[in-house]
Structure 1
């Protein structure tokens, strides 16, 4: 039976509350709508991770993992097997390398890129199956998001990179669940992971970003292994005057978010934002607004004199590259993103290459795009809530006409989710870059029925991609 918050004494430390919930939650306790979202997270993350294996940072991580870690039962997406920590380091880097992985506003966290590869590697260690994978992913995601929600998004605005900061917790929770550790041991792992966690947004636009996510996940796995071997850590590391809430969140901490584990499911509210475009989510609303205006008015890039984008401060703080020189910088450039929408009608993986970046037409189009941070954006609580990364776009045509479009939430966000067809198309496009279209199709079918899999060791093997009769 799942241990509910009402069963836990009020004096119980936060890490222990999380650990007891993670240890107690079973597949049957997860509401089917939340399980469906978790399955989408698994499919989407593994698709973008396969595409990400070709990125320079992901290749670096895979090379480092092979050189530094022992062989083991956990699959590298690039081929071969390592111990869980090594596989997690490489696979998480691939999952986040393209910035195409999902996001949640519970902490501004890229939760799945850390949790899904970690759960996969640790379930392989434990010899579990697809149902175990879905349960571990759900447990890791909910634990991570609950803690992030408890300290609020101010942590992100202060400059902490929350994917690395909370990723160690999500990885520790997912790994502990996969190994079926008890509540005390799980709490030890979470507490130890928290004691050493960190990450700064100063890394955005560089290969350090996916590698920090990988490092956080590997640290979470190491915390689980050490706890399983008997490491004991004080469970009050969040509340301690020298602890997480004081040092990281400047005493912004509401334990109610953690106490609600098992009653409130963050996979459902605030939900998961699945990206339609392979760039920072902060650029997506402006892309959608420009695409919609151009479609509705039949405009081409030649019809547009300028585009002005009014955005929240957090968007301007994330999208810091005006004329990006690398694909990494382009993922954090609003002029690049909007220029792609103007010229190509969308922004896809193939646009993040040297040829596109060097194209004079692209650079000229980007020069017609400006961005202004609105310091009063969050003064309206309603707008701050519904449009945390929204955009108001003003298009001036060569005839002098001014067209304005406000986009609160981009396509793919929890407010405007992708259809099942769009989810599937994204997976096939991403996975095909690594394994080819036929294998991608077979793997997609297998992942969509993952709970029927009694073991995961052959999940990515070519011989197992075809459906069984």
Structure 2
């Protein structure tokens, strides 16, 4: 703990909300590898594999090239790998670029406890820090779990207030989650970890109004980079409020939330057990409706010409997230319930990246079907993971299907196979079969790696060159 400390009366002494900052910091700092159950360790490896796949694929997106070129112009010490670009830069720049790349396709994992995307803010910062400092796979796994649990605990403590206000919680909660992960990797004690949370809190930002633009993936990169910097500054003795999350004019007061951690611990004890992976290349808020529409098409052998009218019922939260009525770009289509449901009913592969190109969004058959889709905000479908699709056919038949996309997989081995299939498909354009297999194998034995240099080395190749 630095000799320089912020002076503030603890919130509990002032009769204010509980000491959330200190409690979160203590939990995070105390976490050890041996605390992680076997299934949680497997889930950490699955998160990393999925992250590598979406990041290698996303590294070739224009927004990532812009960020990489900006880093090249600015220069800096070559401390950490920029995935897919055959370059190394500072840890902060690497976290920024890799975080944006991993969220560029909106194909990364989700946890509804934080209504956001944990891996895209945690892994870029941790990978940059681990590569520059030479830490083991087990230390990486422990730090990832610490950041993940912190982000989700804080998400439940703040409730839905932040998201309802218009904050992108991947950015806001993610900045503190990344700070927790990096503080754990740096082996900071509870007091210094709380300081890191304070530094992260004052940098946390990101607006939902930016969904459908390049700024949404930038949110993930910024959260990762800012969380990393918060932990590094705390390690140097930088000061902040020791109760920054819950104090007056602090994180919760300004961003939203007023609960305690008492109701934030999930059944089973680990938020990682509730991680959700994407198998459609669109906003997770569209997944329930996609699955419902897809099932109706397959069960009833529906053709687009059979469909007279479609009603999609979703929660009110979808309005500011994934209800772009007339998408003009592939990126906007990822946030359009009308368009993604039309894709599902037309038999378009919603798992394929090409299906969300700028040209594909204007496909006449999909656009014509989209004109028959109406979205209703329904109280019977709360949150972002429940959806109902009702189809009226030209023969007058009414077809109805509901789906809940918020249920995590029970069979982890089946999930592993699906993730490996997704991974291979994502990186096929940039890696050959032997490289794909080598990465899958390396991630599977992450806990045996004494340092992550071999992994970083495999990600450092100029994969995007194959697509240029």
TM-score relative to the length of structure 2: 0.89
Q: Distance in 2 between matches of 1:462 and 1:111?
A: 23
Candidates 40, 50, 71, aligned match of 1:44: 50
Deviation at 1:108, TM superposition (A): 0.2
Superposed CA RMSD in Å reads: 2.5
Deviation at 1:82, TM superposition (A): 1.6
Corresponding residue for residue 444 of structure 1: 440
- Contact in 2 for aligned 1:73/1:82 (Cα 8 Å): yes
Over residues 386-437 of structure 1, what are the superposed CA-to-partner deviations in whole Å (9 max), with x where a residue is unaligned? x642111111222221111111226x74589862211110111112233344
- Contact in 2 for aligned 1:103/1:274 (Cα 8 Å): yes
Candidates 277, 280, 283, aligned match of 2:283: 280
1:64 aligns with 2:70: yes
Corresponding residue for residue 220 of structure 1: 227
1:427 aligns with 2:397: no
Superposed, which structure 2 residues align to 1:240-389 within 5 Å? 240-249=247-256, 252-256=258-262, 264-268=269-273, 271-347=274-350, 348-374=352-378, 376-377=379-380, 384=382, 388-389=384-385
- Contact in 1 for aligned 2:108/2:120 (Cα 8 Å): yes
Q: Distance in 2 between matches of 1:452 and 1:39?
A: 12
1:404 aligns with 2:397: no
Q: Distance in 2 between matches of 1:122 and 1:275?
A: 27
Deviation at 1:61, TM superposition (A): 2.1
- Contact in 2 for aligned 1:47/1:427 (Cα 8 Å): yes
Q: Distance in 2 between matches of 1:236 and 1:191?
A: 7
Candidates 133, 137, 141, aligned match of 2:140: 133
- Contact in 2 for aligned 1:23/1:181 (Cα 8 Å): yes
Q: Distance in 1 between matches of 2:338 and 2:266?
A: 40
Candidates 22, 27, 30, aligned match of 1:24: 30
Corresponding residue for residue 5 of structure 1: none
Candidates 386, 393, 405, aligned match of 1:390: 386
Deviation at 1:293, TM superposition (A): 1.0
Change (3 A) 1:75 1:368: same
Deviation at 1:191, TM superposition (A): 1.1
- Contact in 1 for aligned 2:314/2:384 (Cα 8 Å): no
Q: Distance in 1 between matches of 2:42 and 2:134?
A: 23
Q: Distance in 2 between matches of 1:237 and 1:464?
A: 37
Structure 2 residues without counterparts, runs of 5 or longer: 1-10, 462-468
Q: Distance in 1 between matches of 2:374 and 2:325?
A: 9
- Contact in 2 for aligned 1:52/1:95 (Cα 8 Å): yes
Change (3 A) 1:187 1:72: farther
Q: Distance in 2 between matches of 1:262 and 1:72?
A: 43
Candidates 192, 195, 205, aligned match of 2:199: 192
1:33 aligns with 2:29: no
TM-score relative to the length of structure 1: 0.89
Aligned length, in residue pairs: 444
Superposed, which structure 2 residues align to 1:105-184 within 5 Å? 105-184=112-191
Corresponding residue for residue 4 of structure 1: none
Over residues 86-107 of structure 1, what are the superposed CA-to-partner deviations in whole Å (9 max), with x where a residue is unaligned? 1100100001001001111112
Corresponding residue for residue 466 of structure 2: none
Which segment is superposed worse, 142-151 or 179-188?
Answer: 179-188
Corresponding residue for residue 102 of structure 2: 95
SS at 1:81 equivalent: strand
